[in-house]
Structure 1
Amino acid sequence: SEELRRWFLQQEMDLFRYRFNELTDNLRQKFLDHVNLKFEAISEDLKNEWANDLCASTPGFTMIKVKEQMFYKVGLADAVELFRARRVFIKDGFAYVPLKDIDAIVLNNYRAKLSKALALTARSLPSVQSDERLQPLLNHLSHSYIGPDYSVQKNAGKISLEQIDALAVKSFPLCMRQLHKALRENHHLRHGGRMQYGLFLKGIGLTLEQALEFWKKEFIRGKVDADKFDKGYAYSIRHNYGKEGKRTDYTPYSCMKIIMSNPPSQGDYHGCPFRHCDPELLKQKLQLYKVPPNGINQILELVKGMHYQLACQKYFELTHDIEDIGFSLNHPNQYFAESQRLLSGGREVKKELSHLGNSQQKSSGQESANSNSTPTSSNTATDAELEGLDEYFAED
């Protein structure tokens, strides 16, 4: 869909920006050459010679910044926006662009190539989807998740029903906290909410017997009597635990599945609040949960940029009063586990950014090693560093 393409494009842009900015000067130049973007860094001698002109032509730059920042020789056709805005030094038909602007030029080039490729892919989808072998794969691609599935209940039975209200306040992600609140207030949840919340509770350690007791006690406080619950709702709960039907042991939903699943309609409470809530309503929720005003603004900015999982990470930091969570958040049950570990003193709070999430350490370990290569790395290391990026810049 158009929405999924926009979301995918935004994630790829963020990943590309991060990887490009993490490259050393040497590797950055090799990358530009590798993808046929002939932007050459000027020498220190030339930069010093033109320092006054570079400073005067680049808004916000001081002489100190000019000395610190690399400048690139760029053809005017690639720097036309900077030229129009009078934000770049021009000499002999070339623009001399600082690093802070060269990444924007590279990113725009990348965006154009990727957008075109996505549009072509979208046009070819009908013929591809007609192949019954590929259709299931394509339909589930946006929900894919390769991290821990929290199906193995190491803590099964260790959480009592009496603890859930307190845990919801201290350690539940916002999506599960709002489901718990709605259940307590309305004594009922629709199917989407029961699935999302029920599997989450299963993942944090509720046994089948506890789950049946928990849901029954709450539902009979509303409009469902015990007999109706036993004949209808109890079956679904046993089904989620692999005791009915095909005996499939269902796993809790990942962040990606929740974000990309059908949005909640009126009367529903499932979904991701950062993805599916109106910004004003989300702001009210955050205020209700005592998130400080500056923190709310940070979260809303992340939401505006479609960074829903980063918004949830920021919510974790603000509600746990830590500077940086030190992991990449991909699953509501991961949120709960990390919260409990932190509150029990079992995890050291990291003050520096961790570039790898728990569920991504194995798959991206080699990539991380390559991204830290020094300028003296071999050509093989350089090729690995640039792997996967060059095709978007290939000639049509």
Structure 2
Amino acid sequence: MKRVYPNQVVPADAAARKLFNGDDLGLTFYTHPPNAEVSVRQFEDFTASRLKLLHAIDRACNSQELRLEAMKEIRPKLAREFRDSGLELGYPETPGKTQSFRIDKLDFQGRDNISHFALRLAFCKNRDAREWFLRQEQRLFVLRFEALSPEARETFVESVGLECTRFQDGDYEMISLKKLQATTPGARIWVEGSRVPQYELNFYVMPFREVPERLISGRRVVLHRGKAFVPASLLKLVITRRFKESLSAALDVAFQGQHVAMIDPRVGGFLRVLQEHGMELVAPRSSSEELSEKLSLGNFEQLLSRSFPPCMRRLVEKQRETKKHLKHAGRLQLRPFLKACGFTFEDSCSWWRKELCRDPTLTSEKFEKSYLYDVEHAYGKKGHLQGQNCCGCPAIIASPGEAAGQVHGCFFKQLEPSALQQQLQRWQVPIATMLEIQRLIKEGKHYQLACIEYFKSQHPSSDGEGVGNSPMDFLRTSCRYHKAQKATSPKDLAEPQAIEG
């Protein structure tokens, strides 16, 4: 370490680094459950934010392709996701921020622990969920471990009980730093543009049993008398294996006690949704924000092509195109959505009568006898008198496949690739967006992310924030977007069109 002499001016950032150099930035194996009081809303927001970050990490890694040692490559791509999730903590830039750093760290640790343990409960139920959660948490752990200073890494490794010491020349008779550098493939560091490799300067000595088998079989470490000599760049793989073993055992424990959390009236419902659909969720729960533009018979056609989510737009257009009325599942999906968008009971009666009667086999009298009751039921006028609520994306995605003559479910899941491409072309979706949508579906079945990409293509300059959790969020965000566009350039907006005759 460079010596600082009396009266020498030390740059603020260097002094800050010296003060906090050994801090672990809240890195943990999550061995102790959180002991903090938060509101139900905070609990859900923290958990949803972490899940969104884990999905972002999964996408950046192309699902399963990127190896742990290459995680550093994707860190810049995730800057926004880390910031938005509140799960990022860095070293302070100036010594004067000591107190604020400590407060930030406490806040970070609370959010981090609560969200991790909540997802642990949600993802412990079955093998696929466990493996996905383990993989993403390992990746997140590696990214955090790499953000630590060398001193903090050594301190953390020691704190979790890993037998590990830094190699010093002269400690072993037959082994020197130069020999380790020459015989360890993992010690060579290739710099772009240079034909001569640089060499790792630090090695760590530990029992060989602590080293992952693939590092030994790949001859990436040196073994001598039961000891493994590991280059500093591979230390993260050793400690991450420990983390995986610890978390895997913790998931077994969580599985044994999950029923207690699931019956808790405050969080049980939320955890059950995560348990069933957590590998699909990408956004916080639906917003309760009022619509800036309510649906009516007068503006229906405009909002249909401009602001309807694909899953609902397809139901309307398919019914018109085929002149065959929607089957039960399609009507059940569309009815409460139109109601939530602003249709009054009278609007719904009029609209459903007209649309269903496009089918030549269905008369007005048959509508009154067989279909009007469903509309009345949706508005709480019949049946249990409570009405129907619009389904969220997880429920729509989980809809059964379409049989002959049926139209329902998630647009991006139900359609075959060729049919999906044709429909997107009809809706004038750019080729680049179509390719990205196809990639998201093919590589990870990321249907909600595909929907966000569609939204962005139809709303230039929008980042799609707020879309992806329910059809209402899609329409609400679209209306908000167009309201802002109208405020900046009112002359560019067309007048609402009249409903089809």
TM-score when normalising by structure 2: 0.52
**Secondary structure in structure 1 of the residue aligned to 2:231:** strand
1:292 Cα offset (Å): 2.5
* Alpha-carbon shift at residue 111 of structure 1 (Å): 11
Matched, 1:334 2:473: yes
d(CA) in 1 for partners of 2:153, 2:165: 7
For 2:414 and 2:201, the matched residues in 1 are separated by 42
Whichever residue aligns with residue 133 of structure 2, its letter is: E
Out of 192, 196, 200, the position equivalent to 2:337 is 200
Letter in 1 for 2:364: A
* Aligned residue in 2 for 1:62: 191
- 1:319 and 1:102, CA in 2 relative to 1: closer, same or farther beyond 3 A? farther
SS state at 1:142 partner: helix
- Pick from 215, 231, 247 the counterpart of residue 385 of structure 2: 247
CA distance in 2, matches of 1:330, 1:71: 47
1:322 aligned partner = 461
Q: Is the 8 A contact 1:341 1:347 kept in 2?
A: no
- For 1:226 and 1:53, the matched residues in 2 are separated by 86
Q: Is the 8 A contact 2:397 2:410 kept in 1?
A: yes
**1:159 equivalent among 268, 276, 295:** 295
What is the alpha-carbon distance in structure 1 between the residues aligned to residue 211 and residue 141 of structure 2? 18
Q: CA deviation at 1:214?
A: 0.8
What is the CA–CA distance in structure 1 between the aligned matches of 2:444 and 2:379, rounded to whole Å? 37
For residues 244-270 of structure 1, the C-alpha deviation after alignment (integer angstroms, 9 at most, x for no partner) is 111112211101111123333232221
DSSP-derived class of the 1:344 partner:
helix
CA RMSD of aligned residues (A): 5.0
Change (3 A) 1:59 1:72: closer
Take 2:291 and 2:223, find their aligned partners in 1: how far apart are those partners?
66
Q: For 2:182 and 2:137, how far apart are their aligned partners in 1?
A: 31
Indicate the residue corresponding to 1:168 in structure 2.
304
Shift of 1:179: 1.3
Deviations 1:261-288 (A, max 9, x none): 3333232221112233333333333233
Which residue pairs with 1:182 in the alignment? Answer: 318
**How far apart in 1 are the matches of 2:183 and 2:432?**
36
Relative to structure 1, the CA distance from residue 89 to residue 253 in structure 2 (aligned partners, 3 Å threshold; closer, same or farther) is same
1:216 paired residue number: 353
Larger radius of gyration: 2
Q: Deviations over 1:41-94 (max 9, x none)?
A: 979xxxxx8898799748995269999x999968577543456567x5657634
Distance 1:30-1:153 versus aligned 2 partners, 3 A rule: farther
Name the amino acid aligned to 2:428: K
Output the CA distance in 1 between the equivalents of 2:165 and 2:453: 37
Gap regions ≥5 residues in structure 1: 44-48, 126-130, 349-396
Instruction: After TM superposition, give the deviation of residue 295 of structure 1 in Å.
Output: 2.0
Instruction: Determine the C-alpha separation between the residues in 1 that align with 2:155 and 2:371.
Output: 57
Going from structure 1 to structure 2, the CA distance change for 1:180 and 1:8 (only over 3 Å counts) comes to farther
Report the identity percentage: 25
TM-superposition CA deviations, 1:284-333 (whole Å, max 9, x none): 33233232333222222222213222221122122223362234621111
Question: Which amino acid in 1 is paired with 2:474?
Answer: Y
Deviations 1:99-149 (A, max 9, x none): 89849965994799389849x88xx99xxxxx9xxxx97987626998337
Distance of aligned partners of 1:90 and 1:251 in 2 relative to their CA distance in 1, 3 Å threshold: farther
Partner SS for 2:371:
helix
Aligned twin of 1:352: none
1:113–1:32 CA distance, 2 compared to 1 (3 A): farther
Corresponding residue number in structure 1 for 2:445: 306
Deviation at 1:23, TM superposition (A): 3.2
Judged with a 3 Å threshold, the aligned counterparts in structure 2 of structure 1 residues 343 and 245 are, in CA distance, closer, same or farther, namely same
How far apart, in 1, do the equivalents of 2:193 and 2:453 lie? 33
Amino acid at match of 1:293: I
CA distance in 1, matches of 2:298, 2:183: 66
Task: State the 1:341 CA deviation.
Answer: 0.9
Aligned equivalents of 1:103, 1:305: Cα separation in 2: 28
Q: Give the counterpart letter for 1:175 in structure 2.
A: C
Give the letter for the 1:213 counterpart. Answer: S
Partner in structure 2 of residue 142 of structure 1: 276
Paired residue for 1:362? Answer: none
Structure 2 segments unaligned to the other structure (5+ residues): 1-124, 168-176, 488-501
CA distance in 2 between partners of 1:342 and 1:100 (Å): 48
Structure 2 counterpart of 1:386: none
- SS of match in other structure, 1:113: helix
Match of 1:269? 407
User: Distance between the aligned counterparts of 2:301 and 2:409, measured in 1?
Assistant: 20
CA spacing shift, 1:343–1:38, aligned 2, 3 Å: farther
Which of 132, 137, 144 is residue 23 of structure 1 equivalent to?
A: 144
Q: Kindly tell me: are residues 336 and 63 of structure 1, through their superposed partners in 2, closer, same or farther at Cα, counting changes over 3 Å? A: same
- Determine the C-alpha separation between the residues in 2 that align with 1:343 and 1:70: 57
Native 8 Å contact 1:286 1:296 kept in 2: yes
Give the corresponding residue for 1:8. 129
Question: What is the identity, as a one-letter code, of the residue corresponding to 1:173?
Answer: P
Whether the 8 Å CA contact 1:39–1:72 is kept in 2: the answer is no
- Could you state the TM-score of these two structures normalised by the residue count of structure 1? 0.63
Q: 2:375 aligns with which of 232, 237, 243?
A: 237
